[in-house]
Chain A
Amino acid sequence: MKKLSARRRHPLAAVVVLLLALAATGGLYAAFAPAGKAQADSSAQSLAIDEGKKLFAVGCSSCHGLNGQGTSDGPSLVGVGSAAVDFQVGTGRMPAQQPGAQVPSKKNVYSQAEIDQLAAYVASLGPGPVAPTTEQYEPSSNEVTNAEQVAKGGELFRTNCAQCHNFAGKGGALTNGKYAPSLEGVDAKHIYEAMQTGPQNMPSFPDTTMPEEQKREIVAFVRHTNDEPNQGGLALGSLGPVTEGLFGWIFGLGTLIVIAIWVAAHTTKAKKS
């Protein structure tokens, strides 16, 4: 102890103490800090982000900005999460074909691997809803459980979705040229993601307001309405009384009037000689 005490006035003592303090701080930090995302490594995740960034620069950055920060032509993508990317790009909505009231879905030109890379990059910008796994969105394959899910999903659908998407998921009009698209032939995954992220004019239904199980039930109901045989014959678009009225006038009364003309044209006076 004497030795240490004797050297405490040594000109380098301050330097040694500083070094020790730094080493301690650094050591403690290294011990307790979480494994940094900023760590430059060569794992698959980081490769995907790199690839995604390149794809992003080509396909998305002109509207969303080079770093996804958003511009006057497109919103910021910080915090939208991988689920939003998977939905928007997977349904062909993004990259958008043109500005307008609403971006329509179209043929998707990205492979699923590319979409995943884009999603990884956008997810790296900030935490957001994560693209679901099959177990999350796929309704039960058990017939009895599935029927239960359809029934419950129907009730949820009529409460939360039918006012825009119509009772059979055929879509409907919104204000100023916007619309709720038809849900016919939409992937279960995309329906689930739409509920998670609330794309365009749709409200979002995060797990806090609509638990995973309920989303799955809605997916089961939508799939059921798409696959169900038409019990009453032609569904006429499942669009309600407007198409029924048109059908009634054209094919009902129209046919009857044609028949009336035919009957009136064939009378006893029209005997053929």
Chain B
Amino acid sequence: MSSASGTKSSASKPASTRAKPANKAEATADWVDGRLGIYSLAKANLRKIFPDHWSFMLGEICLYSFIIIILTGVYLTLFFKPSMAETVYHGSYLPLNGIRMSEAYASTVNISFEVRGGLLIRQIHHWAALVFVAAMFVHMMRVFFTGAFRKPREINWLFGFLLLCLGFFDGFFGYSLPDDLLSGTGIRFMEGAILAVPIVGTYIQMFLFGGEFPGTDIIPRFFTIHVLLIPGIMLGLLVAHLILVFYHKHTQWAGPGKTEKNVVGMPLMPVYMAKAGGFFFLVFGIIAVMSAVATINPVWAYGPYRPDQVSTDAQPDWYMGFAEGLIRFMPGWEISVWGGHTLNLGVFIPLMIFPLVLVAIAVWPFIESWVTGDKREHHILDRPRNAPVRTAFGAAWIALYLVLLVGGGNDLVATHLHMSINTITYAVRVGFFVVPVLTFIVTKRWCLGLQRRDKDKVLHGRESGIIKRLPHGEFVEVHTPLPQKDLHTLTAHEQPRPLELPAETDENGVARKAGAITKARVKLSEGFYGEGNQIAKPTTEEYHEITSGHGHH
């Protein structure tokens, strides 16, 4: 409100009534303000408060690596030729001299060996992409484990999830562009997955490739998707993501003076401007150093793609590794239906599990709010231990992801740990079902143990290491009570009651039957908050009884 009226009044005011600008900078700022209204915009947002914690900076790593990817990507497009036209290489890299290849591959080799700084920029682009997706992954898990996805941030959670998925695919398309032996193998993998789709698979394949594999269309098409379509969508989502962060205000950890209605921290200007600006250069610096010392995707060593060639160790970049794992551990089932039509279950089933794995984590906020029936806003973060079921689910999901990554790299695990690749594949088959369940159980119990520990610390204080001998000869260890600040922080979380089944008869005494869904919901709620699924936090009475009474335990 104030911003709107402020803009109008300042713009309509005649210049003569204003104080004279003190210097040129102020004059310029005035000029701009008269046209864009930056003063009120800045006033409203520059003093925005952000809380301080290292885990809140994970999103910044994503943002900065995304910017780095765009900057280096633009440079690469100046030299890359997205064409599958055949050419014979006669460049400076002699080991490829006289070899037939596509323009795409030849230009990538030229970027690496002829273009000034080309190899470094290529490596920054690729390393930044790996770090970008990894940072999105960790950022998402931070949001997940702290419950930062709860109302009002569910939509923003989904925006973030979409960014992650788009990052996966844009990374895959970028990996496919150089048309080297590795990327061609990746495209072939994708083609196989498309062909495994019943009925429409062959049609989609023909439309996408413009004919039989590999054709001459796929790389130009991937290029457009990689540099224009997906980055455009991502940029839009990213802006929306950041606007929502501003709009919702940042979440914060529990602590004295921190409530659901305030944000305790420091202003954007000047503190976070300086910190974020500096952190951008640190991120850029670290990625540049990585790219200067370590090779990524040595396309010249892979050689050009030819459908009759393949190299072992043909894996996708890490984020798609779980898809590779699904394919590698799936038995090669194939059935024939309706007179000779092949249904390639060995590829089709993994193709269907692939989105399910991703969706499983994306829908959790909605499942959780449905089970708990909690429709209130939350701006104070949960400690992971105080939400054992959520934490256990997240850990189980990560465990599943890791099992699939091991499956995707089964050949390297085999050669480096001197194991049989068959044993690893069988273990991954079992692990796919068993490891997430075990992880869930262990993590939940672990969280409950930590809750007990917190309770113990609140009631009995910290072990001081000082042993005292009492007059009657008994030895006791002196416990130091926690400071008030810590007591508050450790007991700030809520402990909801589980939902209960509605009364069996209504107010008129007529029997009322609870539906199966209601029953399931109550059962799940019991699993979240019921007896034994959370440790009751100490009450004030308990605290006073112990601290006022008979000394230490």
Closest A residue to B309 by CB, please name it.
A158
Select from chain A the residue with minimum beta-carbon distance to B418.
Answer: A177
For A159, the closest partner residue in chain B by CB is: B309
**CB-based contact A163/B95 at 8 Å:** no
Contact B311 A158 (CB under 8 A): yes
The answer to whether B112 touches A231, judged by C-beta atoms less than 8 angstroms apart, is yes
Closest to A174 in B: B421
Q: Which of A101, A230, A248, A257 has the most CB of B within 10 A?
A: A248
A267 at the interface (CB under 8 A from B): yes
Cross-chain contact A256 with B123 (CB below 8 angstroms): no
**Cβ A151 vs Cβ B312 within 8 A:** no
Tell me whether B294 is interfacial, beta carbon within 8 Å.
Answer: yes
Question: Which residues of chain B come closer than 8 Å to A236, judged between CB atoms?
Answer: 294-295
In contact, A253 and B134 (Cβ under 8 angstroms): yes
User: Taking each of A155, A158, A231, A246, which has the highest tally of chain B beta carbons within 10 Å of its own beta carbon?
Assistant: A158
Q: Are A240 and B182 in contact (CB under 8 A)?
A: yes
Q: Mark A175-191, 1 if CB is under 8 A from B, else 0.
A: 11101100000000000
Name the contact of A245 in the complex, choosing from B279, B283, B303, B318 (C-beta under 8 A). Answer: B318
Judge whether A166 and B421 touch: CB under 8 Å. Answer: no
Count of A-B contacts with CB under 8 A? 213
B402 → chain A, closest Cβ, in Å?
A: 12
Find out whether the CB atom of B421 lies under 8 angstroms from the CB atom of A173: yes
**Does the CB pair A154–B303 fall under 8 Å?**
yes
Identify A264's interface contact among B52, B95, B311, B409, CB under 8 A.
B52
B313: chain A residues within 8 A (beta carbon): 166-167, 170, 172, 239-240, 242
Which of the residues A164, A239, A257 comes within 8 Å of B58, measured between beta carbons? A257
Decide if A151 touches B321 in the complex (CB within 8 Å). Answer: no
In the bound complex, CA of A242 to CA of B286 (Å): 21
Return the chain A residue nearest B293 by Cβ.
Answer: A233
Is the CB–CB distance between B95 and A241 below 8 Å?
A: no
Q: Which residue of A lies closest to B100 (CB)?
A: A155
Distance, CA A238 to CA B181, complexed state (A): 14
B360 within 8 A of A: no
Closest to A153 in B: B95
Decide yes or no: A155 and B292 within 8 Å by CB, A147-B94, A265-B54 being known contacts. Answer: no
- For window 302-341 of B, CB contacts with A under 8 Å fall at 302-303, 306, 308-318, 321
A110 close to B (CB within 8 Å): no
- Whether B422 sits at the interface, judged by CB under 8 Å, is yes
When distances are taken between beta carbons in the complex, the residues of chain B under 8 Å from A267 are 52, 266, 271, 275
**Which residue of B61, B298, B409 is within 8 Å of A242 (Cβ)?**
B409
- Contact A256/B420 with A155-B99, A162-B311 known, Cβ cut-off 8 Å: no
In-complex Cβ contact of B301 among A150, A238, A264 (8 A): A238
CB < 8 Å neighbour of B310 from A162, A244, A251: A162
B317: nearest residue on chain A (CB-CB)?
Answer: A241
Residues of B within 8 A of A165 (CB): 312
For A, the interface residue count at a CB cutoff of 8 angstroms equals 65
A14 contacts across to B, CB distance below 8 A: none
Q: B227: CB under 8 A from chain A?
A: no
B182 contact set on A, CB distance < 8 A: 167, 240-241
A164 and B295 in contact, given A241-B317, A260-B61, A268-B271 (Cβ under 8 angstroms): no
Q: Bound complex: CA of A263 vs CA of B56, how far in Å?
A: 11
- 27 inter-chain pairs at a CB distance below 8 angstroms, sorted by A residue, are A170-B313, A172-B411, A172-B415, A176-B421, A179-B414, A180-B312, A231-B112, A231-B119, A231-B295, A232-B119, A232-B123, A233-B293, A240-B182, A241-B182, A242-B318, A244-B297, A245-B318, A247-B294, A248-B318, A252-B286, A252-B287, A260-B54, A260-B279, A263-B54, A264-B57, A267-B52, A268-B271
Q: Which chain B residues have a beta carbon within 8 Å of chain A's beta carbons? A: 52-58, 60-61, 94-99, 112-113, 119, 123, 127, 130-131, 134-135, 138, 181-182, 266, 271, 275, 278-279, 282-283, 286-287, 290-298, 300-303, 306, 308-318, 321, 408-412, 414-415, 418-423
Residues of A within 8 A of B (CB): 101, 147-148, 150-152, 154-155, 158-159, 162-168, 170-177, 179-180, 221, 224-225, 228, 230-236, 238-249, 251-253, 255-257, 259-261, 263-265, 267-269
Extra contacts besides A163-B312, A167-B301, A242-B409 (11): CB < 8 Å: A148-B98, A150-B94, A162-B311, A166-B311, A177-B421, A232-B119, A233-B291, A233-B292, A241-B297, A257-B138, A260-B54
